[in-house]
């Protein structure tokens, strides 16, 4: 069994299903639907089990499929964050602090802050 993402005309992921390729090809889920295989074990361009990664990230509802990158890209969490071309993950302009404390992103400041 494999995972497949259904994408709409804007390449937005509508749903992800587990099925055999023959079932997807049969058109049972919708004759005009467009399905793209995704890998549950792929994150940030790496396969967690050491195999070949597939399409940079496991697809999720609301993700976008980028045909040129052949990648599923998650929704952008904040306007200031930039896409890492290697991982197809969004990254903040300031790295997360490494002092062991918990922080949240404050978009107005474009920086991390400790919650109250």
Residue 31 pLDDT:
73
User: Can you give the pLDDT at residue 27?
Assistant: 83
Sign of the torsion angle spanned by Cα atoms 78, 83, 89, 94: negative
What is the structure's pLDDT at 33?
81
Q: Mean pLDDT per segment of 10 residues, for the chain of length 116 residues?
A: 95 96 85 90 94 96 97 98 97 97 98 94
By C-alpha distance, which of 21, 24, 38 is closest to 72? Answer: 38
Question: Quick one: tokens of 55?
Answer: 């399409």
Q: How many CA atoms are closer than 13 Å to the CA of 107, on its beta-carbon side?
A: 6
Instruction: Give pLDDT, residue 47.
Output: 95
Spans of all domains in the chain: 1-75, 77-116
């Amino acid at each position: 069994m494999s995972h497949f993402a259904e994408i709409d005309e804007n390449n937005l992921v509508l749903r992800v299903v587990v099925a055999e390729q023959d079932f997807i090809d049969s058109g049972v889920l919708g004759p005009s639907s467009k399905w793209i295989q995704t890998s549950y074990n792929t994150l940030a361009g790496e396969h967690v089990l050491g195999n070949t990664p597939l399409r940079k990230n496991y697809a999720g509802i609301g993700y976008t499929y980028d045909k040129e990158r052949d990648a599923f890209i998650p929704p952008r969490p904040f306007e200031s964050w930039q896409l890492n071309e290697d991982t197809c993950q969004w990254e903040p302009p300031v790295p997360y602090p490494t002092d062991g404390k918990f922080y949240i992103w404050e978009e107005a400041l474009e920086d991390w802050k400790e919650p109250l």
